[in-house]
Amino acid sequence: MMESTLREVNLERGMPRADQAIRQLTFEIHHSRHLGCRVLKIIHGYGSSGAGGRIRVEARAYLGRLQKRREIRGFIPGEEFSIFSEDTLSAFRICDELRRDRDLERHNNGVTFILL
């Protein structure tokens, strides 16, 4: 069987500060590429506790900078992860596993999908 092209990482584990979570995210992007993954799903929370929201905002801003520098293909916020989104349909073409992800159509703003 083919190795997974999708990895999932929880950036909230251990309740890190936002800067610590971004360092972890940087590591996970490089590590996922090394493993041959095409998509990295990060769980960052949506901010109900106060901490998750800060990680979400910082992580997405960071991913925007990486995308601009072409260090990642792009990213899909969980709330936009839908079969009605062109970005999601494009992501299915590079990682068919995404079609079976539990967050598809859940509009979960506590996750983000990174296209490596």
Question: Taking the domains of the chain in order of start, what are their residue ranges?
Answer: 6-115
pLDDT, one tens digit per residue, over 33-83 is 999 999 999 999 887 655 558 899 999 999 999 999 999 999 999 999 999
9-48 per-residue burial string, b: 16 or more CB within 10 A, e: under 16: bebbeeeeebeebbebbeebbeebeeeebbbbbbbbbeee
**In this structure, are residues 103 and 8 in contact, taking their beta carbons and an 8 Å threshold?**
no
E strand map for the chain: 6-10, 39-43, 74-77, 111-115
Fold of 6-115: Ribosomal Protein S8; Chain: A, domain 1 (3.30.1370)
* The predicted structure's pLDDT at residue 25: 98
* The predicted structure's pLDDT at residue 1: 36
pLDDT, one tens digit per residue, over 74-112 is 999 999 999 999 999 999 999 999 999 999 999 999 999
More confident of the two residues 52 and 6: 6
Indicate if the pLDDT at residue 24 is higher than 80: yes
* The predicted structure's pLDDT at residue 48: 62
Please tell me the pTM assigned to this model.
0.93
Give dist(CA 20, CA 92) in Å, integer: 30
